[in-house]
Amino acid sequence: MSQEWIAGKNPVIEALKADRKIERIMIADTSKKGAAQEIRALAGKKGIVVQEVSKKKLDELDAGVHQGVAAAVPAYQYAGMDDLFRKAEKQNEDPFFLVLDGVEDPHNLGSMIRTANASGVHGVIIPKRRAAGVTQTVVKTSAGAVEYVPVVRVTNINKTLDELKDKGLWVAGTGTENASDYRQMQADMPLALVIGNEGKGLSRLVKEACDFLVQIPMHGPVTSLNASVAGGILMYEVLRKRQEKGRPTP
């Protein structure tokens, strides 16, 4: 099995807390307190070997900005679609999935996984081709949230959306033509929210596969938002509407 590195204090701590399989941890020999101390304690409880190495050794791993900490882990294991439905069922909630149609920037992917974790999304669905996958950069940008949000990689987004609709989900996409204000979106139902590519938006076929389209009103001269920002606004709108539905009538 191939090996990857998780770098950075928070990603390593979250991997330890989530019981991610870790082969060994390297900590800079100058790091003694704070997060490094917490990592040593967590690793000790789990019987994981911690090696003290020079900062130069960590730099040579090519693991990105490591903050004096890196953990060797098996290559990321993508989830299956059933895992997402099981998570929603376990939480006794209507399924809420985030579908990314060709998001290429790993920082955007990581940011959206982080927001997905915070806003109650049960899982993220990405395509296998022409899109960012879960890399060390994604893990770090997600601040460890990728340990808690299952990510499914599929061959064909259009086919996947059809399959989700067959299982009772409604599909909401982002767009401008024939799109309603996102604040009017009905979200208290089984839902797949689709965010498009950073530059092109949703592909034509994916847009046609959506049950309805929503847009975020723009009041300034700039006519578009970063994909992860738009995704964050829409995910929290779904969360808000679901929480409102769950509130008792005064």
> Coil, strand, or helix at residue 6?
strand
Question: Both tokens of residue 147?
Answer: 């340990």
Of the chain, the percentage scoring pLDDT greater than 70 comes to 96
Give the architecture-level CATH label for domain 3-74.
2-Layer Sandwich (3.30)
- Name the nearest CA neighbour of 172 among 150, 188, 152, 156: 188
- For the chain, give every residue range classified as CATH 3.30.1330.30: 3-74
Listing DSSP states for 159-208 in one string gives HHHHHHHHTT-EEEEE-STT-EEGGG---SSSEEEEEEBTTTBS-HHHHH
> Does the structural domain 81-246 have CATH classification 3.40.220.10?
no
Of these ranges, 7-11, 52-56, 106-110, the one predicted with the greatest mean pLDDT is 106-110
- For the chain, give every residue range classified as CATH 3.40.1280.10: 81-246
pTM: 0.82
Kindly tell me the number of DSSP H helices and DSSP E strands found in the chain: 9, 11
Question: Both tokens of residue 243?
Answer: 């929480």
Of the chain, the percentage scoring pLDDT greater than 90 comes to 60
161 has pLDDT over 90: yes
159 has pLDDT over 70: yes
Q: Residue 249 — very low, low, confident or very high, per pLDDT cuts 50/70/90? A: very low
Q: Give per-residue pLDDT as tens, 112-142.
A: 999 999 999 999 999 999 899 998 889 888 9
Integer Cα distance of 117 and 11 in angstroms: 14
Q: Residue 2 — very low, low, confident or very high, per pLDDT cuts 50/70/90? A: low
pLDDT at 140: 81
CB atoms within 10 A of CB 192: 24
248 has pLDDT over 70: no
42 has pLDDT over 70: yes
218 has pLDDT over 60: yes
The average confidence (pLDDT) of the chain is 90
Mean pLDDT of 31-49: 88
1 has pLDDT over 60: no
223 has pLDDT over 90: no
